[in-house]
Structures are given as C-alpha cells and as structure tokens.
Amino acid sequence: MKLKRRVALAMLAVVALFVVAQGLLAYLSLVDQEDDLVDELVLAQARELAARVERGELHAASPAAAFRPAPDLSAWLVDASGHAAPTPLPPHLASLRDGPHRLGRPLRELHVVALPTAAGRLVVQYDAERNEAKVREFGLYLIALGVLCLALAALVAWQVAGWIVAPIERLTARLANWAPQAPRAEAAASDEESRLLDAFARVQDRFERAIAHEREFVANLGHEIRTPLAALRTDLELLESGAPADSPQRARLQRALASVDAVTASLEAARRLSARRRAPAQTIDLAACVDDAWASLQALRGAGALRFANEVPPGTRVAADRHALLTILRNLFRNAVEHAAPARCTVRFAAGRIEVIDDGPGIAPQDLPFVFDRYYRGRLLDSEGEAPDGERGLGLAIARQLADLHGWQLSVEPAAAREPAAKQGTRFILSLGAI
C-alpha cells in the first residue's frame, strides 16, 4: 500500500472514530432524554387522573373515553375486589408494583405508572412507539450526516496526505536522480517508503564505491611512489656520503633527503587519514623530528626569511606516530613561512604540548575561528595567490584532521594570549595528551 494511501487511511480512521463516537453519544443521549421525558409525562398524567378519581370525577361507570385522554395513553382503575374499569387489566400490568415502570414489548416500549388512590389502584400506560420512531429517525439522520462527514474527511485526508508525502517524493526523486542506478524490482512497484529506502541504499552504494575508490587511489599512489622514492633516497644517501662535509652540495643533498622523507611521511599520513586508522604510537626523538620537519622546507620560497629556532631540549622523547607528527609540523612551519615571514618562529615543548610561535603580523581575530576550515579564504592561505583554487586552505585543515585522528588537540591563539609582552604573532598549540 502506498504511503499516501496509508496516511490518508490513518487520518480517515481518526475522523471516523471521532464521528462514530460523537454520533453514538448524541443518539444515546437522545434516547435517555426521550425516556425521561415520557416518564415525566406519564407520571404527570397519572397524578392528574388520580386527583380526578379522588374527587369522584371518575368511577367505574364512567365512559371509556375518560380513561384515554390521549391516543397513546390508557388508564385502568382497579377496585378492592380486583375489578378493573373501563376494561379488564392487561395481564402484563397485573403484577406490577406501585411506581413507574418501563416494559419492553415486541416492536414497542411501554411506560407504566401504578398509583394507589382512595377509589382503588390506578394504572396508567403510555405506548412510546411514536417517540421511539422519532428517535430512530434521528439515528438515521445521524448516520447520513456521519457518512457525509466521512466522505468529506476522505477527500480532505487524501489532499493532506498528498501534502505530507510530497516532500518525501521530491527527496526520493532527487536521490534517484543523483544515484540513477536501476531500482530493485520490488521497490519499483512498492510504496514511497520502499522507493526512498531503495534510493538511500543506492546513495550508500555510491558513497561506499567512492570511498573504496579513494582508498584504492591512495593505496595505488603510495605503492607506485614508494619504490622510486626508496631508490631516490638511496642515491641521495650515496651522493651525500661522498660529498665534502662543509660543501654546499652536501647541504643541498641533505635538504633533498629531508624532502624525500617528508613526501614519504605525507603519503603515510594521507593513507592513514583516508582509512581513518591511526598507527601504533612509537617513542620518537621530538627535537630530531622538529629538525627534520623544518629541513624538508628549506627549498620553500621564503624559507630564508623565517628565523627558525628549535628550543625543544635534545633527547626529549614522546610516544606518537612520527609520520603524522611530521606532517602536522611541516604544515605549521609552512604556514609560518608563507604568512608570518619575515619573522622568528620558535618551537617549544612542555607538559605534553608542542608550541609553534611566530612574531609575525598575527591573525585577525575574526579569522581565528576559521583557520582550520578547509578552503577558508581569509587572510591565511596555504599557498601562493597564483596556486590553483583546489590547493588553497588545505594545510592547516589536514593538520587538524590528523590531530583529531590521533586523539591530539590542535588550537591557535594570538601570541599575546600567554605572553603579554608579545604585541603580535601567532601561537599554534599541539597537545599530545599524557606523555
């Protein structure tokens, strides 16, 4: 059954329940009121006849018409000897006690009152058939009105159900157009709910294929690049070992080796970030890791304008994923080169927190909440103005993602927040947790 029809039937059922309940209450209320009214009428008529009997206006020899004051009303006067006037007392009235009574007869309802008088026992009977007919007629009117209300309710429920289901149908259509694979056979002929679930299933399949493709791409890229990187590093090590100790060529070879290591670390970090899987922590030399991250950026344009100072005490060891830490530090240092230089950049470590501080122009307060947003186009950009749009605003975002993946916290604040003497500059804080 289609969702629109189910919604319409549900609303119609609620209306039908309300109409039936209200109609039944109205009918039963009218029945009770009719019975009470007839009882009062018969009792009043009986009292009037009893008064006339006690005044002597009626007696056994009175005309029969005196005991039938109305077409549906009959009366009998039974004397002490049991003789009834003007006609014998019907058997169904003979055994009644004094007081009001309601007698159900086939196709009839009788209201009876028996009263003792000075002249004998007065029995008054009222045939309520005409009143009952009016009540039944009222019941038929209620049924007709209820049917009319249900018909109108059905039309309104169908229209309202269409309004309710319309957003679901539009969502289903958009999902189906976005994931246009052929629907399953059972969903094509089923209701809106099944078609929507089928569309969501196709969207999920599409997402899963995209994620699988992304992971496959990263894995293939890493596999294809690792081998030439390993060969390149081997050749660079051989060349570096044969170069004079203080020659410029040896320094360039060392920078090249650091760059190769940085590329390897970035590939490994990207692979783990894509798989959302962290590597087991290993004990690493933090000071050496900071030096390696900075060494890989020596060839970056503008790196010479940044005075770098590694104040991490030599031999400081922390438990962390070295590839992820290298990638985060490289992005922070690169950000300092591109947006703080000419300036001084200092790296410190204390209480499980790595601080990267520069005394450059700083970050505008309105930009601080967004510096880690992907592709943010504030004053900070991760690459030069001529870089393609797709390469902007990624470095700090990747650093934050890697930190979150490993349970670390990466934040940013003005340098003056902790050092009032610093009039400008920026402080990035990477908290590694318990060390």
Break the chain into its structural domains and give their ranges: 3-152, 180-277, 279-435
The verdict on domain 3-152 having CATH code 3.10.620 is no
Inter-CA distances, 334 with 170, 254, 342, 390, Å: 47, 19, 13, 18
**DSSP strand pairing (306-310 vs 343-350):** parallel
pTM of the model: 0.50
Alpha helices (runs of H) in 108-128, residue ranges in sequence order: none
Residues 6+ apart with CB under 8 A from 368: 412, 413, 414
Under CATH, which architecture does the 279-435 domain have?
A: 2-Layer Sandwich (3.30)
- Separation of CA 368 from chain center: 32
- pLDDT tens per residue, the chain (435 residues)? 677 888 889 999 999 999 999 999 999 999 999 999 999 999 998 898 888 888 877 654 455 667 787 888 999 988 888 888 888 888 888 889 999 999 887 667 899 999 998 888 999 999 988 888 899 999 999 999 999 999 999 999 999 988 888 887 777 777 777 666 655 544 444 566 677 777 778 777 877 888 778 777 767 766 677 768 777 778 777 787 777 777 778 777 877 877 777 777 777 777 767 666 677 788 999 999 999 889 888 878 888 899 999 999 999 999 998 888 988 999 999 899 988 889 999 999 998 999 999 998 888 888 888 888 876 655 444 444 444 444 456 789 889 988 998 899 999 998 887 777 767 889 999 999 754
> Which contacts (CB < 8 Å, 24+ apart) does range 87-91 have?
89/123, 90/125
Instruction: Out of 2.60.40, 1.20.120, 1.10.287, 1.10.3470, select the CATH number for domain 180-277.
Output: 1.10.287
Residues ≥6 apart with Cβ < 8 Å to 188: 195
